[in-house]
Amino acid sequence: MKLKIFSFVLLLALLLAPARVAQAQTYAFTVLSEIVNVYWESDGTLTLDYEIVFSNADYADPIDYVDIGLPNDTYSTFNTTASIDGQPINDIFPSPYVETGVALGLGGSAIPPGQIGTLRMSTSGIRDVLYTDNLDDTYASAVFSPNYFGSEFVVGATALTVIYHLPPGVTPAEPRWHPAPSGFGEQPITGIDPQARITYTWRNMNASASEFYLFGASFPKIYVPAGTILEPNFAQRYGFDPAILIPILFCSFIILFFVFIIWLSIVSNRKRRMQYLPPKIAIEGHGIKRGLTAPEAGILLEQPMDKIMTMILFSVIKKGAAQVAKEEPLELALTSPLPDGLRDYEVEFLNAFKEGEAARRRRALQEMMVGLVKGVANKMRGFSKGETLEFYRKITDEAWEQVKSADTPKVQSKVYEENIEWTMLDPNYEEETQETFSGRPVYAPIWWGRYSPSSGRSIPSAPSRSTGGGRVSLPTLPGADFAASVVGGAQRFAGGVIGNLSDFTGGVTKVTNPPPPPSRSSGRSYSGGGSSCACACAGCACACAGGGR
């Protein structure tokens, strides 16, 4: 039979195969009882006394050999004695079938089929069987598992008794028992043996001789030599069963190997790939388009068309090309011949006013605006619209700044006259104009009478500021009237000349920003085809002017 002693943990439990009665025979038996006296000696060694009663089955072969496992290889066959039914067993040798243990050859005392036999075995001097208790390092832990047999050989229940004999000197209050295996009482029966040693007895009348049971107790280290107590290894300390641990480790290794491969694959793949930066496209082109006139900049800044035409009106009046003949509805009296230096769109603007009929004049002004928008678009080719817009916004801001920072009303009026079209590019120019000029007298520009005949002053139609040293006396106007007149210019256009602003603008943008052509059929469309001109708004005089190409 095979005896196993376990240390604090189950390290050896699965390393050792279940005990075997014999080999290559048909074995079947019942272990009627098994009593194990486990002596924890004062020198730190272990002595075992087994008494096992076999009942061999009728149909089985005789039990001729019994292998018993032992806790480690410190045992000696010289320290081992055995008997069967009182007959000494002399054939004791290291077991060829269990890793650590002895084989007992029963020889002529083999237990025949249908017979009962009682085996006794005693062995002593087994070292390295004590460990430091993991709960209290002043204690030694003594753990033991009695022998068990292969389940294929064993039938029936076994009365199993395990009796611990603690080292001499241990007092009743000192030792501690470990939790008992299932089927045994929660607490062992305590007692004192004839040598006055404390005993713990576990008993189960319906135990299985093929099952693994583990018993344990701890006692103060002082009762055994210090050198005989081992420190538990990692597995022992944390309760791993090495026999379980190895397959777990093996499986873990396999899993880790695959995880490692996957990880390596990901890392390798990632390393192999390049860093991704979002695609960036830059178009080759120039920056700011300088030299645009204020109405042209107004087109770029998407100013309303009535405002742009008011700017043109101011421009042609300043240049002496026309004067307002009638304010409501707006009529212009053109200078003949027209002065030099007029822009194409200014000439077209003036020509439109030659048309007597309102609808034809309106169409002519639309054509003028179409030309102006296309002209700006052409001029912007190869330049950046964004940078150009920024540039002209800055000019507008600076124009107002110059007007506001003028020292005197006279200087202010002069600066305003020079910059009037640029100030109109300010989206808040109406408020700015009224705020700047209201509540103070304004020196009207010399051409003011040509713009606002209702101011009651007749001024020659050609500019005459250079008078050969003579002084020009400029009229003053109440600031509020002046501001209202400037601001009202655009309203006059909207109301009296171009009619509905949206319709007028629509007539222009349908030419300058026609709807995009039908989507191409080459199969390379990705999200519904190309975009149309993004500034093709109906309510403003915007142009898809520019840029970069």
Partner 1 sequence: MGLLERIGLRGGEKAEPLKPGFYSYVAPPSHPFNYRLHLRIEPGGDGLLVVNASTVLHLNQTATEYAYHFVTLTPREKVAEQIAKRYRVGKQRADQDYADFANKIQALIETPDLDPVTYLGFGRHAPYTDTMSAPYRLDCALTYKLPKGAPKAAVPTKRVAKELSTAQWKEVIDKAREVGIPHIVFTGGEPTLRSDLAELLMHAEDHGLVTGLITDGRKLADTRYLKTLLDAGLDHAMIVLQPSKEETWDSLASFAYWKEVLNDDIFIAAHLTLTKQNTKQANALIDRLAQSGISAISLSANELALNNKLQAARDHAAARDLPLVWDLPVPYSALNPVNLELEEGKGSHPVGAGHAWLYIEPDGDVLPEQGINKKLGNMLKDDWGKIWGKAKKQK
Number of residues that bind partner 1 (CB under 8 A): 69
List 86, 196, 276, 468, residue binding partner 1 (CB under 8 A) = 276
Please say whether the beta carbons of 450 and 317 come within 8 A: yes
Strand partners, 332: 324
List 285, 427, 478, 495, residue binding partner 1 (CB under 8 A) = 285
Position 440 contacts partner 1 (CB under 8 A): no
Identify which range of 96-104, 165-173, 176-184, 380-388 contacts partner 1 by CB under 8 A.
380-388
Contacts of 385 (CB under 8 A, 6+ apart): 300, 545, 546, 547, 548
List 135, 226, 283, 359, residue binding partner 1 (CB under 8 A) = 283
Position 337 contacts partner 1 (CB under 8 A): no
Position 546 contacts partner 1 (CB under 8 A): yes
**Cβ-count burial of 488 within 10 angstroms (0-12 exposed, 13-18 middle, 19+ buried)?**
middle
Give the integer Cα–Cα distance in Å for 275 and 93: 71
Report in angstroms how near the CB of residue 293 gets to partner 1 at its nearest.
9
Report in angstroms how near the CB of residue 368 gets to partner 1 at its nearest.
10
Query: What residues numbered 286-305 form the site for partner 1, per CB under 8 A?
Result: 286-287, 289-291
* Residue number, 127 or 343, with CB nearest to partner 1: 343
Task: Of 12, 23, 21, 22, give the one whose Cα is nearest residue 70.
Answer: 12
* Residue number, 287 or 441, with CB nearest to partner 1: 287
Task: Of 329, 314, 300, give the one whose Cα is nearest residue 544.
Answer: 300
* Residue number, 166 or 380, with CB nearest to partner 1: 380
Site string for partner 1, 244-263 (x = CB under 8 A): -----------------xx-
Q: Is the dihedral of CA 373, 378, 380, 385 positive or negative?
A: positive
Query: What residues numbered 339-368 form the site for partner 1, per CB under 8 A?
Result: 343-345
List 23, 90, 206, 268, residue binding partner 1 (CB under 8 A) = 268
Report in angstroms how near the CB of residue 372 gets to partner 1 at its nearest.
7
Task: Of 71, 70, 63, 114, give the one whose Cα is nearest residue 89.
Answer: 63
Position 281 contacts partner 1 (CB under 8 A): yes
Q: Is the dihedral of CA 100, 106, 112, 117 positive or negative?
A: negative
Give the integer Cα–Cα distance in Å for 503 and 294: 24
Identify which range of 126-134, 163-171, 206-214, 266-274 contacts partner 1 by CB under 8 A.
266-274
Give the integer Cα–Cα distance in Å for 7 and 49: 18
383 C-beta neighbours (distance < 10 Å), count? 21
Query: What residues numbered 464-523 form the site for partner 1, per CB under 8 A?
Result: 516-518, 520-522
23 C-beta neighbours (distance < 10 Å), count? 12
Report in angstroms how near the CB of residue 543 gets to partner 1 at its nearest.
8
* Residue number, 120 or 510, with CB nearest to partner 1: 510
Report in angstroms how near the CB of residue 540 gets to partner 1 at its nearest.
15
* Residue number, 91 or 344, with CB nearest to partner 1: 344
Task: Of 402, 414, 420, 399, give the one whose Cα is nearest residue 472.
Answer: 414
List 214, 342, 484, 535, residue binding partner 1 (CB under 8 A) = 535
Position 194 contacts partner 1 (CB under 8 A): no
Position 226 contacts partner 1 (CB under 8 A): no
Q: In this structure, what token pair is assigned to residue 419?
A: 């910059």
Please say whether the beta carbons of 377 and 508 come within 8 A: no
**Cβ-count burial of 271 within 10 angstroms (0-12 exposed, 13-18 middle, 19+ buried)?**
exposed
Report in angstroms how near the CB of residue 341 gets to partner 1 at its nearest.
9
Contacts of 481 (CB under 8 A, 6+ apart): none
Q: What is the DSSP letter of 89?
A: E
Identify which range of 143-151, 217-225, 374-382, 474-482 contacts partner 1 by CB under 8 A.
374-382
Binding site for partner 1 (CB under 8 A): 261-262, 264-266, 268-287, 289-291, 343-345, 371-372, 374-382, 384-387, 516-518, 520-522, 524-527, 529-535, 544-549
